[in-house]
Structure 1
Amino acid sequence: MSHPTPARPPETAPAPADPGTDEGRRRRHPRTARGIIAAGTTAVSALLLVAALLLPNRLDLLTPPAFLRLPAEGIVLAAVLLILPGRARRVTAVPAGAVVGVLTLLKCLDMGFYAVLQRPFDLVLDWTLLDDAADYLRESYGRTSEVLAIAGALLLAATVPAATVLALVRVAERMARRRPRAVRATLVLAVAWVTCATFGCQAGGAPVASTLDAQLLEDRVQAVRAGLADARVFAAEAAVDAFQNTPPDRLLTGLRGKDVLFTFVESYGRAAIEDPAMARQVGAVLQEGTASLGAAGFRARSGWLRSPVLGAGSWMCHATLLSGLWINNQQRYRDLVSGERTTLGKYFRRTGGWRTVGVVPGVRRAWPEARFFGLDRFYDSTHLGYHGPYFSWTPVPDQFTLEAFDRLEYGKRDRRPVMAEIILASSHQPWAPLPRMVDWHDLGDGSVFGPIRNAGKDPAEVWKDTESVRTEYRESIAYSLRSLFGFMGRHARRNTVLVFLGDHQPRPEVVAGSPRRDVPVTIVAHDPAVLDRVAGWGWTPGLRPAADAPIWAMDKFRDRFLTAFGPREAGAAQASRKAAVRRTNHSGSSSQG
């Protein structure tokens, strides 16, 4: 007996969409919905490309008017894509979009370099500085900030070129489908660009007819050529050394028996002395130092040096002063320290009259450069006996650094004269939290700075406001100078000669965008004969250089110093030769007349 097949349940019909919802409208007008999405995607792609082409390479130029311009590169690119046939158009759109993306990334790098160094990123010479930037983030803001910054940079490097490629491919295909309309729009934009260029139309102080990316590309090509040629230029400069063949017994004769301390004060720039917001407090510290040193019989003369860098790169400034060569990029620094250039430290050591010492608290790892700079012994942050806290980037407070130098080297009995290079790092950015002066007898192993560190300001809070940054910078310079003058008051002797100077100006936020790179330099001595040697330099008496005091390029200091403190008769003979040349030239000109 057969059994009836059970009836299949009826299929449930889909519920009708509510005609008032977006889904209902898409179902009723599918072609219209797709068209709106396609048009929206194209519009977003076009806006992305225009924004990338008009993006400035400096943060201070990143304003709404910067995007109210006509990019010539975009108009030319649109015309080329309209001319090309289908396959060639797609093949061209991909590398062109990648170039737009890479240029956008380059402008982002420029923003960072302008913000810190007030110059653009160098495609040949600056890649190694990215490692230093990562180290600075880790030491100042913690490992998490470093990891997040690196991850963000990698994400940006991957997504920006991909986005600009996809956007340009999308726009190119859309223009091809609407060729007549696209041709008319391109012609209108081209005429508008030429008109704006002819009449000099501007938006927010910038030309409406923009050629930003073309100019950027041209500048980078020239910079790459210069960077590639710089190695040859630097090698030729390094081969010239006026003192290389000077006998040791004729070197530094005016300083024999003296302790000579070259002390760099981090970020101690002209702004600290002349900016109205800082001049009063820093000036008061210099005045206090003048009084205390004067009471101990010391006198000083001060001038200006022009630093090779601005905002960062202290090691390049140290190398410039000590080597007598202009070190304004990392490649020059590497070439210098791998060569045989004779530095000031080597000249002091060559005489046999000094023990050469380096105190470099900012160094936390192996430092093979110590041999190049001619140091018999150097002390990094791990060899100063400090067991207190870091102050953001700064490993050791300046007061402790100087007291450790006395304990480890300067205060020893029956020693040879010392030539020392001392780095004071407490005024290194981010200038928060800051140490403060404590009683010198309470320094101990540095643990006394723990409560000071805990009560200090958070760098993230300080850097929310430019005026706060400037205030903390000013406080840091005051602390470093007080530490130095306090050390001199406690430990300086009649045979002490102190040369202290800034390495570079602080960041653009602190100097209000000023391009000046001047830093103060001062010579302090008890023996009047020392300052007599530099009387012809025209430097200002005291610890504060006058506004019109001479400004030398920092690389000129080494040779001027060696000349001033060499044999008197050598200097007199050199002056006599120059006078004879002048007389000869004058008589020659007269006879020709």
Structure 2
Amino acid sequence: MLVFSRAPRPAQAETDRPDHAEEPPAPAPAPVPASARSRIAARLGRWRGRRGRRGWRDRRPRAALALRWTGTGLAAGLVLGSLLLPNSLAALHPDRFARLPAEAIVGAVLLLALPGRARRAVAAAAGAGLGVLTLLNLLDMGFRDYLGRGFDLVLDWELLDDARAYVADSLGGAAAAGALVAASLLALGVPVLTALAAVRLGEVLAAHPARAHRGTLLAAAVWITCSALGLQTSGLPVASDRATGAVRSQVRRVADTLRDEAAFEKEAKADTFGATPGAELVPDLRGKDVLFTFVESYGRSAVEDPVTAPGVERMLAGNTAALAKAGFRAKSGWLTSATYGGSSWLGHSTFLSGLWVDNQQRYRTVTSGDHLTLTKAFGRTGEWDTVGIMPGVRKRWPEAEFHGLDRVYDASELGYRGPKFSWSTMPDQYALEAFQRLAHGRKRDRPLVAEIILTSSHQPWAPVPELVDWDELGDGRIFGPVEEAGERAADVIADSTRSRRAYGRSVQYSVTSLTQWLERYGTEDTVLVFLGDHQPIARVSGDDAGRDVPVSVVAKDPAVLEKIAGWGWTDGLRPAHDAPVWPMSDFRDRFLTAYGSTPHPSEKN
């Protein structure tokens, strides 16, 4: 007899289901969607990467710690340096950075209050904005050093291309390309770096909240105390809000520019002599050849700076004596230019129009209108031919109509075949001889009014031309050995003292070229008005230099100078230190009035 036995089931199992129930099969795992698999793989990759990095840090903990703190220190230095960065080279000293910026404290409070994703977004945006502000401060430095003013966000972008062209003309195409690449990298890299630095600092604060809160509270207490007590370091308040002030300054500058644009447009439509008939303009100069000549960068510094003055004063005294021997007399004074260090066209248009043209928007406004210029006033009479000698113009120049010039000879039309002298396309002596050949010396039915721009004293003042025999000028190739033997622009630009000396020599060359031309070709009917268009750049003229430039009227006919005897100007080519100083915009009306013009104002529309 067979006996079958079965192992007893657990009691719980017997009560749950009958003996004949079968064990249900295990459920099959649900399929994982492809998108989920990719997310899992990405997370696994990141986890493995983190493990790899941890492994490196575990193997070299001191190096990892040093690297982490170095990165944090650099980030803090970049952010704090950007918050305290001044906007002028003269103020760029280490003590400027020994201050406590309020913006850093406010930023820390804000980042501590935000959750992770929002904190990183705000830190990145604020850091990028700080980078943009840093770039504006750097632009301000450059503009103040060269033009004596800050960068205008509305008007000055087109001047950056002029700066590139100036570098190419002065130092060559390779230097200009290198400068362009460096500027592009700076423009892109600074905001990116400051954004990354701000994000890193935000993460450090979030990783140590207790210490970060205590440190921020302590910094705020120190800032408030220093501000209340007026504590200073090196003459500057310890409690700084430099970045906030810089933003306010930029906003104010933009608002002032926009307001000025509308106001100047109305001002330019009013003209004291705008409706004066041609018969009533400059009657006392009928029959005279009148030459308005601008000497590039010829400023008060050339006459009074200790480095340049001795040579320039000897030159002015010698040329005054040489002109007197030829029968010419001169009177000289000072004009305050509308520009400084560059943007010569602003000075030219201010002098000729009688309007204060100190920015690019004003220049566009006045040159697109019909405001009366000195050269146009002579042309309106129908008694003079008008001509421009523009060796610095190398492309189409639509402003000729505003200047009232019948004929303009630019760099390509003066016949020069010699070498360039850095930015200057040709030596002034050659340009003046070309003026004689093409216009002044030709047989004419009417007298001539000319606007002449002399460029040899344009920065970087290397190499400086030398005078040659006027009869041997030819097509200018005689200047080849002179250019080769001269100083290199790259050597002079980097040295302030060498720049000042070279600047003085260039002014001596330009003014002597002009006075020798007058001795050689001037007549009883020649009237020369020459002046500087602006002071040289701050690296040459000094950080505190004004904007005054010398101006002289030279003539052989005594009646010409008698008409301006009441101006109080100094006899000779060298104006006395205390000679009258007028805004450059005053000259047009004073000149027209002195020589018999009758005011007939045009009305504002």
Pair in the same fold by TM > 0.5: yes
Counterpart contact for 1:432–1:457, Cα < 8 Å: yes
What does residue 585 of structure 2 align with?
A: 555
Equivalent position amino acid for 1:303 in 2: G
Residue 357 of structure 2: aligned partner = 327
**Pairing partner for 2:261 from 224, 231, 236:** 231
> How far apart, in 1, do the equivalents of 2:582 and 2:553 lie?
15
**Is 2:415 aligned against 1:385?**
yes
1:204 lines up with 2:222 in the alignment: no
Question: Per-residue deviation at 1:512?
Answer: 1.8
C-alpha separation in 1, matches of 2:413 and 2:344: 21
Asked if the contact 2:339/2:347 (under 8 Å) is kept, the reply is yes
- Which of these residues, 361, 375, 388, is aligned with residue 405 of structure 2? 375
Aligned-partner Cα distance in 1 for 2:64–2:536: 55
Is the 1:435–1:453 contact (alpha carbons within 8 Å) kept by the matching residues of 2?
Answer: yes
Q: Report the CA distance between 1:332 and its aligned residue.
A: 1.2
Aligned length: 549
1:405 partner amino acid = F
C-alpha contact (below 8 Å) 1:129/1:330 kept by paired residues: no
- CA deviation after TM superposition for structure 1 residue 26, in Å: 5.2
> CA contact under 8 A between 1:437 and 1:483: conserved in structure 2?
yes
Residue equivalent to 1:471: 501
Is 1:516 aligned with 2:546? yes
**TM superposition shift of 1:87:** 3.1
- State the distance in 1 between where 2:359 and 2:440 align: 34
Alignment map for 1:33-182 (pairs within 5 Å): 34-182=64-212
Give 1:445's aligned residue: 475
Kindly indicate whether residue 602 of structure 2 is the aligned counterpart of residue 536 of structure 1: no
Conserved 8 A contact 1:252-1:348: yes
Alpha-carbon distance change, 341 to 487 in structure 1, aligned in 2, over 3 angstroms: same
Within 5 A, what are the aligned runs for 1:148-547? 148-547=178-577
SS at match of 1:382: helix
Scaled by the length of structure 1, what TM-score is found?
0.90
Distance (whole Å) between structure 2 residues aligned to residue 301 and residue 565 of structure 1: 15
Q: Deviations over 1:524-560 (max 9, x none)?
A: 1111111111111111111111111111111111111
Question: Residue type matched to 1:332 in 2?
Answer: R
Matched letter for residue 136 of structure 1:
Y
The 2-side partners of 1:178 and 1:301 are apart by: 75
Following superposition, the deviation at residue 29 of structure 1 comes to 4.7
Deviation at 1:423, TM superposition (A): 0.5
Query: Scaled by the length of structure 2, what TM-score is found?
Result: 0.88
Deviation at 1:88, TM superposition (A): 2.6
* SS across alignment from 1:368: coil
Aligned partner of 1:270: which letter? R
* CA deviation after TM superposition for structure 1 residue 433, in Å: 0.6
Q: CA deviation at 1:565?
A: 0.8
Tell me, in whole angstroms, the C-alpha distance in 1 between the residues paired with 2:349 and 2:444: 31
Q: Tell me, what secondary structure is at the counterpart of 1:46? A: helix
Range moving further from structure 2, 436-445 or 31-40? 31-40
Deviation string for 1:106-129 (max 9, x for gaps)?
A: 111111111101211111111111
Aligned-pair distance for 1:199?
3.1
The alpha carbon displacement at 1:204 in A equals 3.3
Q: Aligned partner of 2:249: which letter?
A: D
Structure 1 CA distance for aligned equivalents of residues 220 and 99 of structure 2: 12
Give 1:27 shift.
6.8
Q: Is the 8 A contact 1:498 1:525 kept in 2?
A: yes
C-alpha separation between the residues in 2 aligned to 1:27 and 1:206?
Answer: 44
Distance in 2 (alpha carbons) for counterparts of 1:533 and 1:514: 35
Q: Distance in 1 between matches of 2:158 and 2:179?
A: 16
- Aligned letter for 1:60? A
Of 549-558 and 185-194, more deviation after overlay is shown by: 185-194
Kept in 2: contact 1:52–1:101 (CA 8 A): yes
* Whole-angstrom distance in 2 between the partners of 1:284 and 1:28: 76
Deviates more, 1:412-421 or 1:307-316: 412-421
Give the conservation status (yes or no) of the 8 Å contact 2:289–2:526. yes
Q: In structure 2, what residue type is equivalent to 1:45?
A: A
Q: Relative to 1, partners in 2 of residues 1:30 and 1:454: Cα closer, same or farther, differing over 3 Å?
A: closer
Identity, in percent, stands at 53
* Contact 2:336 2:547 (8 Å CA) reproduced: yes
CA deviation after TM superposition for structure 1 residue 30, in Å? 5.9
Contact 2:454 2:510 in 1 (8 A): yes
Report the Cα distance in structure 2 between the residues aligned to 1:411 and 1:33, rounded to whole angstroms: 80
The alpha-carbon deviation at position 228 of structure 1 amounts to 1.2
1:367-395 superposed Cα distances (whole Å, 9 cap, x missing partner):
11112211010111111111000000000
Task: Between 27-36 and 142-151, report the one with greater CA deviation.
Answer: 27-36
Range with bigger deviation, 230-239 or 446-455 = 230-239
Separation in 1 of the partners of 2:253 and 2:575? 35
Q: Secondary structure at the match of 1:261?
A: strand
Bigger drift between 292-301 and 78-87 goes to 78-87
Larger radius of gyration: 2
CA distance in 2, matches of 1:395, 1:156: 31
CA deviations on 1:501-522 (whole Å, 9 max, x unpaired) are 0000001111121240000001
CA apart distance, 1:196: 2.4
Q: Which residue of 1 aligns with 2:22?
A: none
RMSD between aligned residues: 1.9
Distance, in Å, in 2 between the alignment partners of 1:443 and 1:185 is 75
Shift of 1:43: 2.2
Residue by residue over 1:245-294, the C-alpha shift from the partner in whole angstroms, topping out at 9 and shown as x without a partner, is 11111111010000000000000000111122222211111111111111
CA distance in 2, matches of 1:222, 1:60: 22
Q: Structure 2: 5+ residue runs without aligned partners?
A: 1-52
How far apart are the structure 2 equivalents of 1:28 and 1:544? 78
Distance in 1 of aligned mates of 2:340 and 2:499: 17
Counterpart residue identity of residue 265, structure 2: A
Could you tell which deviates more after superposition, 64-73 or 33-42?
33-42
Gaps of 5+ in 1: 1-22, 575-593
**CA–CA distance in structure 2, aligned partners of residues 309 and 560 of structure 1:** 20
CA shift for structure 1 position 451: 0.3
- Give per-residue Cα distances to partners, 1:17-63, cap 9 Å, x unaligned: xxxxxx99957556665454333322221121111112221122222
Q: Return closer, same or farther for 1:181/1:28 CA change in 2, 3 Å cut-off.
A: closer
Q: What is the distance in 1 between the residues matched to 2:434 and 2:566? A: 36
Q: 1:474 and 1:554 mapped to 2: Cα distance?
A: 23
1:128 touches 1:330 (CA, 8 Å); kept in 2?
Answer: no
Counterpart-to-counterpart distance in 2, 1:559 and 1:27: 78
Q: Distance in 1 between matches of 2:320 and 2:59?
A: 85
8 Å contact kept, 2:227–2:238: yes
